[in-house]
């Protein structure tokens, strides 16, 4: 099932509520518009905390953010909302408004499950832990990290229990539902269990095949960071980023933040590694294009938000892996690299294509190739389950991490906390339940491109000619313009003709890496 451009235009023309016929719904829209404006401030404050804030500002910033979160929570749990939501459900609403009301109710249920004091404690604990983590990780200071991480985990466990009590799902499922509504750990476990049956063999087969190919030439640095940024900005422009509605900065961990009207991206530059910043920027630009192209007439309402983090990651991975590692895209990047850094053999298109598709197990998730990447996600998913439903203590995380890293990727991480359990920002910031979204997103991205190729049989040739319009057009019509109009299975069905189908992901990897 697909949605036509005419239908999209109709959906994007958000009707103004009628205060006479829809008084309760009109009041709900007004309240959510106010929430959106306050969240705008919070998003920019959060970006500044990661990208610009001086170290001594963290305690005051954490207190200010906790105050804002408390204010937002009070707005979301106002007793008047109970009656407004009930009355709005009896008013004459169109399909768009009913979908928006569905999302309002979801927001209301999740907010009312949590005490205000817990919301404030969470903000303070995560702000302190994440700030300290920036210095503790380079120092491999696991003991110092644990001291700050325990309060974060304690708050997260309390949240999970409150949400579980309110929804009837397991504590970890309740956390995961924040990021991937409706998804369960049982379903993720089923998908990941299947992955574990064929992924190790695929990694070995790809490595054996690549070992017989000519050696990959590594670009020779150093690479001036200002020049890297200039390259990143040019690539973002080619990918359609609107610089009048966003910007690129630096942070310890690359991310995409802000709001649709003002999207903030960050990346990180290394003097001796050009690929990390470039591909990281391509990844974050995928997130940004989604946000910048959410339907403008819906902004301020829950329905205008991105559908889920799995769908969000499907956009970043559509850009980074499906498009960014495509030989057609790489061919377009080769002359840009030579122009910015001078010509060298490593910048030959064929070599670059092999460089960005090189499969080699590594310690760092964000640097992983797309074949080994799911193993990093499975490892974290299983540890999170153990933390919330298996009684795993914080002190026991490294041993379990070492065990799974050895089993899944054959790597030794003993004593290396910096490149082990401390490497990601997600746990210090309390984002438990997020990690599965990365691999779900990779699966959705493969499914989107399979649908694109059906709609545009010459897609690969057009990408080789530098014509990315078919990709942007398809994503704009089927994903970006739909926002949260549909729940995830229905969105996937309308976009690609079927709900999530992991078979497309396996087919993509086997086609790209084994030529099948």
Per-residue pLDDT of 442-498, as tens digits, reads: 999 999 999 999 999 999 999 999 999 999 999 999 999 999 999 999 999 999 999
Would you list the DSSP string of 328-397?
A: HHHHHHHHHHHHHH---GGGSHHHHHHHHT-----S-GGG--TTTHHHHHHHHHHHHHHHHHS---GGGH
Residue range 420-431: average pLDDT? 96
From the list 110, 104, 134, 117, the residue with the least C-alpha distance to 33 is 104
Question: Which phi and psi (to 5°) does residue 270 adopt?
Answer: -120, 140
Judged against a pLDDT cut of 50, whether residue 32 lies above it is answered with yes
Residue ranges covered by each domain of the chain: 185-221+304-514
Judged on CB neighbours under 10 Å (0-12, 13-18, 19+), 143 is exposed
Question: Which phi and psi (to 5°) does residue 249 adopt?
Answer: -135, -170
Rounded Cα distance, 513 and 357, in Å: 8
Q: Give the model confidence (pLDDT) of 295-351 as tens digits.
A: 999 999 999 999 999 999 999 999 999 999 999 999 999 999 999 999 999 999 999
pLDDT of 20: 81
Rounded Cα distance, 146 and 142, in Å: 6
Q: Which residues pair with 258 in a beta bridge?
A: 263
Residue in the block written with tokens 């310890």: 252
pLDDT of 3: 45
Sheet holding 262-267, edge to edge: 246-250, 262-267, 256-259
Round the average pLDDT of the chain to a whole number and report it. 94
pLDDT of 386: 97
pLDDT band of residue 423 (cuts 50, 70, 90) is very high
Catalytic residue numbers? 284
55 touches 61 (CB < 8 A): no
Judged against a pLDDT cut of 60, whether residue 260 lies above it is answered with yes
311 touches 435 (CB < 8 A): no
Between 58-76 and 116-136, two packed helices, what is the crossing angle to 10 degrees? 150
Q: Which residues pair with 257 in a beta bridge?
A: 264
Q: Give the model confidence (pLDDT) of 52-75 as tens digits.
A: 999 899 899 989 999 999 999 999
Q: Pull the structure tokens for residue 411.
A: 């790597």
From the list 439, 459, 433, the residue with the least C-alpha distance to 504 is 439
pLDDT of 70: 92
pLDDT of 6: 44
Q: What is the percent of the chain with per-residue pLDDT over 90, rounded to a whole number?
A: 91
Rounded Cα distance, 475 and 481, in Å: 8
Given the candidates 3.30.590.20, 1.10.3470.10, 1.10.1370.30, 3.30.465.10, the CATH classification of the domain at 185-221+304-514 is: 1.10.1370.30
Residue range 248-259: average pLDDT? 89
Q: What is the percent of the chain with per-residue pLDDT over 70, rounded to a whole number?
A: 97
pLDDT band of residue 14 (cuts 50, 70, 90) is low
pLDDT of 19: 82
Residue range 163-181: average pLDDT? 96
Q: Give the model confidence (pLDDT) of 81-138 as tens digits.
A: 999 999 999 999 999 999 999 999 999 999 999 999 999 999 999 999 999 999 999 9
Largest separation between any pair of C-alpha atoms in the chain? 73
pLDDT of 516: 87
């Amino acid at each position: 099932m697909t949605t036509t451009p005419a239908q999209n235009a109709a959906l994007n023309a958000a009707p103004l509520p009628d205060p006479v016929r829809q008084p309760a719904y009109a009041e709900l829209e007004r309240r959510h518009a106010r929430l959106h404006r306050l969240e705008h401030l919070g998003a920019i404050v959060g970006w500044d905390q990661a990208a610009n804030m001086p170290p001594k500002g963290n305690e005051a910033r954490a207190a200010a953010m906790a105050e804002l979160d408390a204010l937002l929570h009070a707005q979301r749990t106002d007793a008047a909302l109970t009656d407004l939501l009930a009355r709005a459900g009896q008013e004459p609403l169109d399909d768009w408004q009913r979908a928006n009301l569905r999302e309002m109710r979801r927001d209301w249920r999740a907010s009312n499950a949590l005490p205000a004091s817990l919301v404030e404690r969470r903000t303070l604990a995560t702000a302190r832990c994440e700030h300290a983590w920036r210095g503790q990780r380079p120092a491999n200071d696991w003991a110092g990290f644990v001291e700050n991480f325990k309060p974060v985990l304690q708050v997260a466990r309390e949240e999970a229990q409150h949400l579980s009590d309110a929804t009837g799902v397991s504590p970890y499922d309740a956390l995961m539902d924040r990021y991937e509504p409706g998804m369960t750990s049982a379903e993720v476990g089923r998908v990941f269990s299947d992955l574990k049956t064929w992924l190790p063999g695929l990694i070995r087969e790809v490595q054996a095949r690549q070992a017989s190919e000519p050696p990959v030439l590594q670009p020779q640095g150093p690479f001036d960071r200002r020049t890297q940024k200039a390259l990143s900005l040019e690539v973002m422009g080619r990918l359609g980023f609107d610089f009048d509605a966003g910007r690129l900065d630096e942070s310890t961990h690359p991310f995409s933040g802000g709001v649709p009207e003002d999207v903030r991206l960050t990346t990180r530059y290394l003097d001796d590694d050009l690929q990390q910043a470039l591909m990281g920027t391509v990844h974050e630009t995928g997130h940004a294009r989604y946000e910048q192209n959410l339907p403008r007439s819906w902004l301020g309402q829950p329905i205008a938000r991105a559908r889920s983090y799995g769908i969000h990651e499907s956009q970043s991975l559509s850009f980074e892996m499906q498009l960014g590692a495509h030989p057609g895209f790489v061919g377009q990047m080769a002359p840009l690299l030579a122009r910015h850094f001078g010509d060298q053999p490593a910048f030959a298109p064929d070599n670059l294509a092999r460089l960005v598709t090189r499969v080699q197990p590594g310690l760092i998730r964000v640097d992983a190739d797309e074949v080994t990447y799911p193993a990093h996600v499975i490892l974290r998913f299983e540890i999170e389950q153990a933390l919330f439903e298996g009684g795993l203590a914080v002190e026991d995380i490294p041993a379990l991490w070492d065990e799974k890293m050895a089993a899944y990727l054959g790597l030794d991480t003993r004593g290396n906390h910096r490149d082990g359990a401390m490497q990601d920002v997600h746990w210090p910031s309390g984002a438990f339940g997020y990690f599965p979204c990365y691999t779900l997103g990779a699966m959705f991205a493969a499914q989107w491109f399979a649908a694109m190729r059906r709609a545009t049989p010459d897609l690969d040739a057009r990408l080789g000619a530098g014509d990315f319009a078919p990709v942007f057009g398809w994503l704009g019509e089927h994903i970006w313009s739909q926002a949260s109009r549909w729940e995830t299975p229905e969105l996937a069905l309308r976009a690609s003709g079927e709900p999530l189908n992991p078979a497309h992901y396996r087919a993509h990897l086997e086609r790209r890496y084994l030529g099948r």
